[in-house]
Structure 1
Amino acid sequence: MLNVVPNLIVLCRIASVVNWLWSKVGLSRREKLSKMDSVVRAVIEAIHSSPTRAVLCLSGGASQALGWLLSVPRASSTVLEATFMYSRASMVQLLGKVPTQSVCRETADEIALEAYNRALELSMPGMQVAGIGFTGVLASIPPKRGDHRCFVSARTQNGLWQYDLTLAKGHRDRYGEDYLTSCLLVKTLANVCGTIDDIPLDLKEGIEKLRETKLVYSEEEQLQQLLSGKICMINFSDRVNSPTSGTRRVVLSGSFNPLHDGHVKLLDAACSLREGGLPCYELSAINADKPPLGLTDIKERSNQFRSGNTLVVTNQPYFFKKAELFPDSTFVVGADTALRLLDPKYYGNSKVRMVEVMLGIRKLGCDFLVAGRKVDEAFKVLADVEVPTEVEGMFQEIPLSLFQSDLSSTQLRAQARQQG
């Protein structure tokens, strides 16, 4: 009994020393994380100051990165949307297929491509956008049998950044691995934005090594990806648009073969009816009634647009699909196009189906401005178009006092052939 008290005193002293040591270790770690957090914050502030906006799709890690991005002011200047895919079904739905392997380079690239297309749909024409894809397998319970690793991809219009990292298994806990991969994700986004990326990754020397690759796509490769359906649109614009929230796009779709003064005046007139609207020309590489445009055709037609114009090349010939690419937009059409839009024969001779499609376009926030146009030698205006009562509010006439032109691309091509 007499020996118990001294033993307890010794044990208490040992415990005190251990606690003191742990407090020093913990303090050192907290100081390190605090220092790292200040670096991360500085990089994120630079990211938010850049013109690039992004959609992030993450699976299996880097979860802290989103919290960091959103906790720094002006996050809406960067983040268009973020998705965490923590179920297999979520990834399958995003990719539209079952991936060959959930955590691999190919899947990360595919996720980034889907994110990029989504960013195009959510952004304004002319904006710089990126799609960020992350897939990883990190420490968990029960322990993973294979390597702990991650793959990050960042897709832009003209490039693909790739980062591969295999982690030292057992060197960090789950929080530590997620912290490291979150730093890597922010570093990737900083590179895409062209800002500072001074985030130290604190890799285990001699064991962990980050592999970095960048692919650059030529204009021809971009067009081939568009025609194959890999990407939904290409922005041909030499300016970066930074419209305010709620800005409405005013979209003039056409073949522009050739672009003429009538097109320019028509879009100007339409924009005068949508004050503050962003003017945008849209060229579809795929036509409902004609063969797809070739690479040479697209290049020649895109080269017609003067500096400062916003031109978007898409692969969607139908307006209900264009509305998905350009929600909250006003489409500028001629009376001839309005007649086709509202003709049941293009909907399996079903007026009900035609109205359903038009209501679907309206749900996406889209409407139409209609200009007078010569149709079968007769000049037609909106009043000559039979508009169903269910969708009357979707169509507004462009007054003849604002725009009236007899210029025709077909006539101009004929004249050019005669002169040639």
Structure 2
Amino acid sequence: MDDDDGGRQETTMEEDCMSARPSMMSARTRTLVEAIHSSPTQSVLYLVCGASQVVAWLLSIPGASNTVLEAVVPYSRMSMIQLLGKIPNQFCSAHTAEEMALLAYNRALKLSSPGSPVLGVGFTATLATSRPKLGDHRLHLSTRTSDRLWVSTVTLSKGLRNREEEDMVASHLLLKAIANSCKVPGTFVSELTESEVPDECEMNFSEDEELEQLINGQICFKVYPFSSEPHMLTAERKIILPGSFDPLHEGHMKLLEAATSLCGNGYPCFEISAVNADKPPLSVSEIKDRVKQFEKVGKTVIISNQPFFYKKAELFPGSAFVIGADTAARLINPKYYDGDYKKMLEILLGCKKTGTTFLVGGRNVHGVFKVLEDFDIPEELRDMFISIPEFRVDLSSTEIRKQVGK
């Protein structure tokens, strides 16, 4: 997939890959990969037309599962279009690499262990082929973390290296970029000539800027990992209690504790959507004020931008959502699906396919205390809903706000 400013020479995937033969890993590279695997950062990589050795290096050293969540090579144009969700102005450009890194970052958020730092990596290039190429030989690399975006473009000297050698240069540059994003110290020996000067751009984000990006839909969620229990760090499944938490109260805490006891191994956390279905989005200051509540009690909270459960299920696949009986009643009521029973069933079955379950605690519904067993759950959905036995706390954030005159 070549995209040159000075003209484009089409090549097949087979022609481009023939010269990218695997190479033995140097001791320096092995040490660097081991250090990357020892860091807590988990990553998703989207790579096109080069840097092929990076995936091999990362996966061939023990500990790869600590680092690599997913590695994708969207080599064909159609594959790239599907990844980006559009036809880019240029398939090989710094902007495209940046977009790939952001997509990879959001994907890493969804796949990562709760609270782990995540990294999105984007790479696209136009390198030497078996036929003369009119345009430049270029590399575009980008990395994205929660607080940093880095983009680099390198124009290689044409005719100086063959495809395999250019791919090796690209692989070393990308591995260095991954190490830097993982905050791995190291000495890097440049393989570039004096004329091959990287054109680099770096942006650092404050917490406020990151939350603005979340509200605007650029990033899908932000985790505040205030919980410190060691056994939770290895748990992959999230046990999520969603709500507005205005304010957080004892009933919320007890409900999540009861759900966690029922589930056994899992990572309990709260979740607030900054975007509401029928209200303006929360401001950055409102979000930060609510987050402070969780910091005080040492509980993890996730800020997302999805108010609907079917969207939350996509954001947090395989999770157990903790809800009250009143919410369960709304979930299975066709009234909230434009009165369409089939639509309700289709949406909830879609949630089921992501591995979603709902843990239901007793709650007052229109003045009457209800539990899960009081509702007629459609047969196709019954195994999604699990009752939290003997749980009752008649506290409400709305009532608390009324009492304090908010």
TM-score (norm 2): 0.90
Aligned position for 1:302: 291
In the alignment, the residues of structure 2 paired with residue 34 and residue 317 of structure 1 have an alpha-carbon distance, to the nearest angstrom, of: 48
Q: Which residue, out of 134, 140, 143, partners 1:154? A: 143
Structure 2 residue 338 is the aligned partner of structure 1 residue 348: yes
Q: Which residue, out of 241, 248, 258, partners 2:237? A: 248
In the alignment, the residues of structure 2 paired with residue 239 and residue 149 of structure 1 have an alpha-carbon distance, to the nearest angstrom, of: 44
User: Which amino acid letter does the alignment assign opposite residue 376 of structure 1?
Assistant: H
- Matched residue SS, 1:126: coil
Task: Summarize deviations over 1:337-381 as a string: whole Å, max 9, x none.
Answer: 000000011122121221121111111111111011112221111
State, as a whole percentage, how many aligned pairs show the same letter.
51
Unaligned ranges ≥5, structure 2: 1-21
Structure 2 residue 224 is the aligned partner of structure 1 residue 236: yes
Aligned position for 2:104: 115
Structure 2 residue 267 is the aligned partner of structure 1 residue 278: yes
Cα contact 1:60–1:85 (8 A) shared by 2 = no
In the alignment, the residues of structure 1 paired with residue 334 and residue 326 of structure 2 have an alpha-carbon distance, to the nearest angstrom, of: 15
In the alignment, the residues of structure 2 paired with residue 141 and residue 97 of structure 1 have an alpha-carbon distance, to the nearest angstrom, of: 30
> 1:306 offset after TM fit, Å?
2.5
Task: Summarize deviations over 1:79-135 as a string: whole Å, max 9, x none.
Answer: 000111211111111111111111211111101000001111111331110100001
Q: Which residue, out of 316, 319, 326, partners 1:326? A: 316
In the alignment, the residues of structure 1 paired with residue 132 and residue 231 of structure 2 have an alpha-carbon distance, to the nearest angstrom, of: 47
Q: Which residue, out of 66, 71, 76, partners 2:65? A: 76
Q: Which residue, out of 348, 357, 380, partners 1:367? A: 357
In the alignment, the residues of structure 1 paired with residue 281 and residue 371 of structure 2 have an alpha-carbon distance, to the nearest angstrom, of: 30
Aligned position for 1:407: 395
> 1:254 offset after TM fit, Å?
0.4
Aligned position for 1:24: none
Cα contact 1:369–1:396 (8 A) shared by 2 = yes
- Taking the TM superposition and a 5 Å limit, the aligned residue runs for 1:151-300 are 151-204=140-193, 206-238=194-226, 247-300=236-289
- Matched residue SS, 1:358: helix
Aligned position for 1:7: none
Structure (1 or 2) with the larger CA radius of gyration? 1
TM-score (norm 1): 0.87
Aligned position for 1:316: 306
In the alignment, the residues of structure 1 paired with residue 149 and residue 309 of structure 2 have an alpha-carbon distance, to the nearest angstrom, of: 30
Equivalenced residue count is: 383
User: Which amino acid letter does the alignment assign opposite residue 289 of structure 1?
Assistant: D
User: Which amino acid letter does the alignment assign opposite residue 306 of structure 2?
Assistant: Q
Aligned position for 1:144: 133
Cα contact 2:46–2:121 (8 A) shared by 1 = yes
In the alignment, the residues of structure 2 paired with residue 95 and residue 273 of structure 1 have an alpha-carbon distance, to the nearest angstrom, of: 40
Moved more, 354-363 or 68-77: 354-363
Task: Summarize deviations over 1:180-220 as a string: whole Å, max 9, x none.
Answer: 0000111011001111243323111x211223332111111
In the alignment, the residues of structure 1 paired with residue 160 and residue 352 of structure 2 have an alpha-carbon distance, to the nearest angstrom, of: 55
> 1:309 offset after TM fit, Å?
1.9
- Matched residue SS, 1:303: helix
- Matched residue SS, 1:152: strand
> 1:239 offset after TM fit, Å?
6.3
Task: Summarize deviations over 1:202-250 as a string: whole Å, max 9, x none.
Answer: 111x211223332111111111111111111111225688967773211
In the alignment, the residues of structure 2 paired with residue 295 and residue 88 of structure 1 have an alpha-carbon distance, to the nearest angstrom, of: 39
Q: Which residue, out of 73, 78, 82, partners 1:93? A: 82
In the alignment, the residues of structure 1 paired with residue 234 and residue 147 of structure 2 have an alpha-carbon distance, to the nearest angstrom, of: 26
> 1:259 offset after TM fit, Å?
0.7
In the alignment, the residues of structure 1 paired with residue 331 and residue 133 of structure 2 have an alpha-carbon distance, to the nearest angstrom, of: 56
- Matched residue SS, 2:405: helix
> 1:258 offset after TM fit, Å?
0.7
Unaligned ranges ≥5, structure 1: 1-32
In the alignment, the residues of structure 1 paired with residue 122 and residue 244 of structure 2 have an alpha-carbon distance, to the nearest angstrom, of: 34
- Matched residue SS, 1:229: coil
